Structure 1
Amino acid sequence: MNPTVARLTLRGLLGRRRGLLLLVVPVLLLLVSALAAGSDGNKHDLVVNILGKLALGTLLPILGLVVGTGAIATEIDDGSIVYLLAKPLPRWKIITTKLTVAIGITWAFSAVPVLVSGLLLYGSKEGLALAYTVAALVAGAAYSALFLLLGVVTRHAVVAGLAYALVWEAVIGNFVEGARKLSIQQWGLAVAESVAADGSITSVVSLGAAVPLLLLVAVAATVLASVKLAGLTLASEE
């Protein structure tokens, strides 16, 4: 991990405008949870709907998209990445440093609010708050890696990311059972299911399949992003 790259990436992601945008996710989640905590509905169902569907199914991928693409896509679009690539620094180290920062920010703005929301809604019963927090951690890392890759390979990273997060996972995944098995959300839920009390959380993917798939996405996205960034260096030098 390179401290200079980490500092520049952190500054870019937590700038005034982007930082305010990132705050929308935890504030919205905590607000919804606070309002729901005072209702008379089934609290278990509230947790599943708010943390499982709203947080993991919608807010987390959007947050991961903003952070993952923002970690590098802006620099590539405006050409400032050339100054970074001119440094005697391995391209894989640039990617892994930016990914580490992106994952850390995603965790801070998602996993912590999820834990607080879960405790607010349901306390520590059935381990739901902890389970969804762990799911936010593993899914957040996978989303960050995937969207960082999109930020390197295409100038339309946000559009491509929204297509995956909102069309594939949120729409197609709700109607086509096979599509759910290729969903980071469902892989995260599989991990949550293993942490929570039996029967309190369900996923269409087994833990034995979810963990390798999460690792595969994270590692493959990191490697491909490093290779693509090296290609950008060669192109600029030519």
Structure 2
Amino acid sequence: MNPTVARLTVRGLLGRRRGVLLLVVPALLLLLAVLVRTANGRDHDIAVQVLGTLALGTLVPLLGLIAGTGAIATEIDDGSIVYLLAKPQPRWKIIVTKLVVAIGCTTVFGALPTYLAGLVLYGGTDGLALGYGLGALVAGAAYSAVFLLLGVVTRHAVVAGLMYSLIWESLIGNFVSGARTLSIQQWGLSLARTVADPGAITADVSLPVAVPLLVLVTLAATGVAAVRLAGFTLAGEE
């Protein structure tokens, strides 16, 4: 961890329009949870729909995209990355620091609101809130790593991230069962199912498959991002 890089990354994420989105999106989730609970009372199926489809399926990847790409893509695009690269420090440390900040953002603005929304919708019964909170936490970490990598390798990181989230996970994943094995959302759901009471949460990927894939993808994306950043010159070009 590099404290200076971390401070600059936090300032960049929270001081721009991204900061507004990071605050507004979870606020809307919590507001919706209050409205749904008020209108329908404690309903398991509705809680699962809100927490699984909206929170884990939409909010968490969106926040991962905002935090992951925002942690480095803007610096590469505007050329300010050269100031970091000019410092005598390993490039991998820059990547790791930015990833830690991005994961912190998805935890604070994604996993925590998901857990709180679960408590509002269903209380602590069946471990539903805790399960989805944990699922959002681990999925947010993986999304952050993948989208941080996209921020390093392409200038169209946001578009590529949206294509993965909307086309692969939401569209193809709904019609092709095999595609769900490579879905970060399903990996998060697998851990959520393990924490919750039996039958409270369903997932299409088993835990022995989900955990290794989560670890592998997160570490691999981080490693490749560090290698690619190491190939940048002070002009920001490979």
1:97–1:197 Cα change, 3 Å: same
Structure 1 unmatched runs, 5+: none
1:117–1:236 Cα change, 3 Å: closer
User: What is the CA deviation profile of residues 138-181 of structure 1, one whole-angstrom value per residue up to 9, with x for unaligned ones?
Assistant: 00000000000000000000000000011110111111111111
Q: Which residue of 1 aligns with 2:67?
A: 67
- Secondary structure of the corresponding residue to residue 228 of structure 1: helix
Q: Which residue of 2 aligns with 1:114?
A: 114
Q: Which residue of 2 aligns with 1:211?
A: 211
Matches of 2:33 and 2:41, distance apart in 1: 13
Matched, 1:157 2:157: yes
C-alpha displacement at 1:233, in angstroms?
Answer: 3.0
Q: Which residue of 2 aligns with 1:171?
A: 171
The alignment-based identity, stated in percent, is 71
Q: Which residue of 2 aligns with 1:201?
A: 201
Matched, 1:57 2:57: yes
Matches of 2:175 and 2:185, distance apart in 1: 15
- Secondary structure of the corresponding residue to residue 18 of structure 2: helix
Question: Scaled by the length of structure 2, what TM-score is found?
Answer: 0.97
Q: Which residue of 1 aligns with 2:17?
A: 17
Matches of 1:197 and 1:17, distance apart in 2: 39
- Secondary structure of the corresponding residue to residue 145 of structure 1: helix
- Secondary structure of the corresponding residue to residue 39 of structure 1: helix
The answer to whether the 8 Å contact 2:111/2:137 transfers is yes
Amino acid at match of 2:211: V
Equivalent runs, 1:1-238 vs 2, <5 Å: 1-40=1-40, 43-233=43-233
Range 40-49 or range 173-182, more displaced: 40-49
Q: Quote the RMSD (CA, aligned, Å).
A: 1.5
1:42–1:179 Cα change, 3 Å: farther
Question: Scaled by the length of structure 1, what TM-score is found?
Answer: 0.97
The answer to whether the 8 Å contact 2:22/2:63 transfers is yes
